[in-house]
Structures are given as structure tokens and as C-alpha cells.
Chain A
Amino acid sequence: MTSSRVAVLGAGGFIGSRVVESFHLQGWAEVRPIVRRISGLARSRRFNLDSRIADGCDAQALRAALAGCEYVVHAIAGDNATIVGTVEPVYRAAEHAGVRRIVYVSSASVHGQSPAPGTDENTPLREDQPIAYNNAKVKAERRFLRMRENGRVEAVMLRPGIVYGPRSPWIGGFANELLTGRAFVVEGAHGVCNSIYVDNVVRAIQLALTAPGADGHAFLVGDEETVTWRELYEPVTRAFGIPFNEIPSIKGSVPAQSSFERMLCFRDSKLGQALLPAFPLRLRHAMYTGLAAWLQYPPGGSPYVMEAEPAPVPDLERTLLQTCAWKLPSDKAKHMLGYSPQVSFTEGCRRSVEWLGFAGYPVLHHGGG
């Protein structure tokens, strides 16, 4: 494979940057990092690589960027419009460039954050899930399949679960919450965490790029072990010398929308979008910020109050994730791709904590065990 050229779209992101790093340092392929804007080059330019700039929605820029590449890894992150909107331009540009196969880094979220027992790749997907990100990923996968039906470039979809490791929001974000006193878990974090260490994702991508018979298929991929969210978080809390039991554990609920959230919903609704342009921008901005402040801090409260931190309120995503009861299987990937997680959960946690120290966090105890 070392003679093959692999374009990595989203090379500045968490997964994309590790793909670039690993493929290049392993000498597994000639890597071409592609990022949306120049500022996205910071991570990939640590290496002397032929990096390119191309927006994932800009077919023309992509054509030039993908020229000469045999394989494409699509690891573009972004808002829901970006998730869906990059599929067609990337596919068409890949076709123009004569790319053999695209591996799309989708997400296990297509099955929801708390999939029903028995869920696997054969479970029908829905586009009406309560979390918009999930629907966007479903739409993106379906678009890829439609493009493939009429196109020449092979397409393989990977559905990793909770990807953790160096630069992971699940690790760094939780560390930030811990160190600013904002961390909490839902119902003891005893729910199943469908974890996958980032290097196991990289391995799955590597296999999916060349595995025969994988074209048109989607594969769930995860770590070997079945672990809970507590097991993912504990190495991080231990790294900072914080006993896990000191982290507030709250009851999960499907939270009702706050007034502020309802206001945002109106702003984003068809009616809101139709009415709002009638008002000057400054007035809209003033109304928005003023109303937001008023809704959050309504006047008339007594100054005689005991100082207390407001109780955390779990969002829907966190509630569903941390009460999940099903370990998604990687059996299909094992059979068809030859996938086998190469990094154990314990080792993945250890490396994640080592990264926290690298990034400048005040780590007291290294090691995930």
C-alpha cells in the first residue's frame, strides 16, 4: 500500500489528523491531507507532506485536491448541513479524479445514542431521530449509497461509536469539565459506552480502504471490551486525583425545552426565518441578547440568597448515552474487513491520559490502569 496515495479529507480534525499521523509515520501510504481552510493545516504541517486546501462543498477545488489519489478518507466534521452537503461534491470529485474507493467516517449515532438491544447494521435507520446530528449522518450515508449506485467510485461506510484518544472531545472535554468544577454524570455513568480508541478507527479505515467485497457496505466498529462510561471517565478523574464518587451523579431525563431554547427554535423555524429579515439586524441582535439575558436572570429576585452552584441539567444526548444498555457489535467488520481492535481499552485509556499531560493538563497520575 505504501505506493498508494490516500487523500484525507478533514485532516485537521480529531480523527483525520490521527489518520494522517498514523498512515504517514507507519509508512503505510503516501498521505495527502486536505483541509477546508489554511488555518486547518496546523496539525498536518508538522510533517513535510503535500497538503491541500479544498472546501468539502466545493467540487472544483476538490477535483484539484484529489487528482492523483487512489483512495479517499472522508473524515470531514462540521454542522449538519456540512455533513450532508459534502457527500455529493466529494463523490463527484473523486469520480473525476479516478479514485477507486472512498471510506466515509460515519457514526454509530445513526442508530441513536442508546440503541435498542439487538441493534446491528441490519437495523433500519431513521431520519426522524430527536438529535439532528444522527439524522444528518443517516442522510449522508444514504446519499453516498445513491451516488454509488450511479457512480464508479466504491464507497464504504464506517460507524465508530464513542471515539476517544488524544485530542478527543470525550477525553479533553471531560477533563475541562472536571477542572472547572462542571463535571457530572448521569445515573452513575453505568450505561454501556460504545467506545473505540482512535487507533482502532484508523485500523478499520485502513482495512476498509482495500478490503474486497466491502463496497456499498456499512460497518459498526468498536473496542473489543464492553465498558461503561464510568470506566472511560475514571482514568481521567484519577489522572487529576479526583475520586470518581465526588462527581455529581444526577438522574437522567429527557429535558424539557427552556424558554431560551424555545426562542432559538422559533428563530430557526420557517416562520421565524420568514419574519425576522423584516427587522433591522441591530434590533434583532439587541432583542435576542436582551431577551436571552432576561430569560436567564429574571428581575425581582431577593439579594439574600445562599451562594450555590446551579444543579447541572443533562442534555438529551448525555442522558441517552450514559444510560445506554447495548454494546454495538463489530462482527460484520470482523468477518468482512478482518477488523480486530489492536489497542485494548486499558491501553487506549493510558495513552489518552498521556496525551492530557502532553497537552498541558495538570496530570498527577499517568496510566489508565
Chain B
Amino acid sequence: MNANIAPGQPVNVALLGCGSVCSIYHAPALEQLAQSGIVRVAGIFDPDGEAVARLTERFPSARRMSLPDDLSGMDLAIVASPPAFHARQSIDALRAGVTVLCEKPMASSVKEGDAMIAAAAESRGLLAIALVRRFLPATQAVRSILANRMLGELRTVACFEGGPFRWPARSPSFFDRSQGGVFLDVGAHMLDLLVWWLGVPDGVDYEDDAMGGVEANCRFVLQYDSGIRVAGRLSRDWELPNRYLFDCAKGWMSWMPTEPESVQIGFHDTSFALGAELHDRTVSFGRPAAGRKSINFQQAFILQICNVVDAMHRRASLVASGADALKSLRLTHECYRLRKLMNMAWLTDIESATARAEAGRVP
């Protein structure tokens, strides 16, 4: 079906879900792409009429969709609804012959993720997952440096992400158990990057602080047969430097999600470190050179949609397909299956006993 889209014609996009991720990230990217004639936002769906109205102001020619599967005339559906709806809406779109770009986490369960991939295969459609960090030059640089062992063999990775929760969530349901906590939320990005860089681990360990609700803190360890050990920590509670630190045989490398356009590199035998700002590669006087500054985080959202459009036109393959995302989703749920309660040494004995009981009880 996607092959029917004529090159040069804008792709008709349906926005399913008008929450914060849509208004903050997808909508501005679509506005830019619409000005360039690459896409046209043709339909908008959200059960919240006010949210639809706000978005319709930005895309006046879009029709208000009465139902999320009201997809006639659409080429691409961007599924940005709460995760509990990702599978249903993606599958309906794929069956209707519409390409899907689904927000992360791709689904609430592995079973749902499998069903989404099966639907894509049956309909021969495209299922992309919005793992936008794969489009950042910094994460690509990390991947390349590790794959080519530029700093020698990788030994350990230590990563921390989070801080006091500031995302402008529009509904308390953001914290429902079905949506998972920080691990399913920001952890979707962290695990995807780790699996993308290092592959699927051979062993995992996981603990969090959910006591009948959703976790605000979690800690995990990924172990690889090669000896690589990854220690991850996520928090919606307390801020430490958001950082991925790679310790290799010859030196170290660091990437900060808050500074997505740069990496830091140090060598074990020098007293200095490189604070490297990333630039596009260019040619000057016939020689390779650093050109203009590489894309920023917001531009990655534009690139993400462009990649899907290119894939629809068979000009590129998806950078983050459903099958790619399923690997980290499986890992997420394996961690949840193994979950233990974090040791909170400040709790009294009575509090600890209740905490353990509540942690084992899923409402």
C-alpha cells in the first residue's frame, strides 16, 4: 500500500493522541515538514476535545477523526496515545494499510509487541518505533567508537538518567500501573540504546521501589558473556548527572543525554579529555573536514519522520523498526519479571515489612 504514495506528493499523516509528546515534539517537526511539502497533517484524534482543538489550530486542514481507526485517506499514523493504546491503534492502522510510527514504549507487554509485528508482517506494512535517540549523531558516534574498538575493549558501562519528574503529563493516568514507571518510560530509551550498541545481554538483574504503584527509582545490571557489565540507574526522584560512561581498555567515553550534540573522550594515559562537539563531515580543499554543527535533539524528530517517509518510498530502511524495539521491550519485561524491591535503608522495620508486602501486590 505504501508503494502507492507518489514521490513528491506529501504523505498524509494522522496524529493519534494529542498529549504532551505530540504537542512538544511531533507537532513542531510536522509543521516544518509540512512547509517543505513532505507531509500533510490530514487527521487528528484524541478523546480530549480541547487537545484536538489546540492541535487543529496548528494544522487547520486536518479533519477531526471520530475514532482512531477512522483512517481513510491516511498514509502514516503517528501513534502518540498512552502506551496502553499503542498496540490496538497500531494494529488497526497497519491492517488498514497505513504505515505506523509508534511512540515508545512500543507496547505495554511483549505479547502486544509480538502482535504489532505480526500485523505489520501480515499487511506487509511498515512499523517504526519512535526511538528518536538513534537519530542523534552522538549516539551513532558512540556506536561506531565501540564497534570499532577505538578505545580498546569495552569493560563497563555506568548510566544514570532522570531527576525530579518534570514531564508535563496531562493526565494522572500517566502513573497508572499499566503504563509502567520510570523503567518503561525513560528506560525504553536507555535499554534500546544499550541493546543497539552492545546487543542483547546474557544476564540481567533488576530492582525498583514500586510498592503497589509504579517505580520512581530502579537499578539494573546487564551482563554479557564477553565480560562487559552495564550498571543502569533511573530516577524520577533525585537528580545526578545524566550520563552514560563507558570504561574501555585504553580510555573512557561519556555521553550526556542533556547534551545530545557532544561526547567526551579521555585516555587513561593522558591528563586531558576531549570535549567533542559533533559536526557533519564535509570536504574542504579536497580533504575531509568538520562542517556545520550536527543536528540537535529537536531536529532528530524531523529526521525520524523523514526516515519513515523515505522507507515508505523505499528509499531507506527504518532506523528503529518494531523488531528492533521488541528486543528492548523483551528485556524490559524480563527485568520486571525478575524485579526485587530496592533496599531503602531509611525505612523502619514496620515500614519495610509493609513495603515488601505492597511490592508483591499488583493492584
Contact = CB atoms under 8 A, between A and B. Distances in A.
B214 A25 contact: no
Contacts of A360: 160, 219, 233, 235, 238, 240
A167 B237 contact: yes
Interface string B339-351: 0001111111011
A176 to B, nearest CB: 8
Contacts of B181: 46
Nearest to B359: A46
Contacts of A359: 217, 235, 237-238, 240
A351 B167 CA distance: 30
A40 B165 CA distance: 7
A51 B347 CA distance: 21
B1 interface: no
A348 to B, nearest CB: 9
B170 interface: yes
A44 B209 CA distance: 11
B288 interface: no
A42 interface: yes
B175 A41 contact: yes
Interface in A341-369: 351-352, 354-355, 357-361
Interface in A158-182: 165-167, 172
Contact of B213 (A46, A166, A167, A361): A46
Contacts of A40: 165
Contacts of B358: 25, 47-48
A25 B240 contact: no
Contacts of A284: none
B169 interface: yes
B242 to A, nearest CB: 11
A41 B351 contact: no
A245 interface: no
A45 B160 CA distance: 21
Contacts of B172: 38, 41, 51, 53
A318 interface: no
A38 B165 CA distance: 9
A350 to B, nearest CB: 8
A70 interface: no
A27 interface: yes
Interface string A49-60: 101010000000
Contact of A166 (B165, B219, B346): B346
B260 interface: no
Given A25-B355, A165-B346, A351-B345, A42 B160 contact: no
Interface string A6-48: 0000000000000001101111000000000011111111111
B351 A42 contact: no
A351 B209 CA distance: 17
B363 interface: yes
A26 B169 contact: no
Given A39-B169, A47-B358, A358-B217, A26 B350 contact: yes
Contacts of B39: none
A357 B219 CA distance: 12
A127 B215 CA distance: 42
Interface in A44-99: 44-49, 51, 53
Given A172-B238, A359-B240, A26 B351 contact: yes
Interface in B325-363: 342-348, 350-352, 354-355, 358, 361, 363
A43 B235 CA distance: 10
B211 interface: yes
Contacts of B213: 44-49
Contacts of A48: 212-213, 358, 361, 363
A358 B344 contact: yes
B236 interface: yes
Nearest to B219: A360
A42 B237 contact: yes
Contacts of A41: 165, 172, 174-175
Nearest to B345: A354
A38 B19 CA distance: 13
B292 interface: no
Contacts of B344: 166, 355, 358
A42 B185 CA distance: 12
A165 B348 CA distance: 13
Given A27-B350, A42-B237, A53-B172, 4 more contacts: A25-B211, A40-B165, A45-B213, A359-B240
7 contacts: A25-B211, A25-B350, A26-B348, A38-B172, A42-B237, A46-B209, A167-B238
Interface of A: 21-22, 24-27, 38-49, 51, 53, 165-167, 172, 199, 351-352, 354-355, 357-361
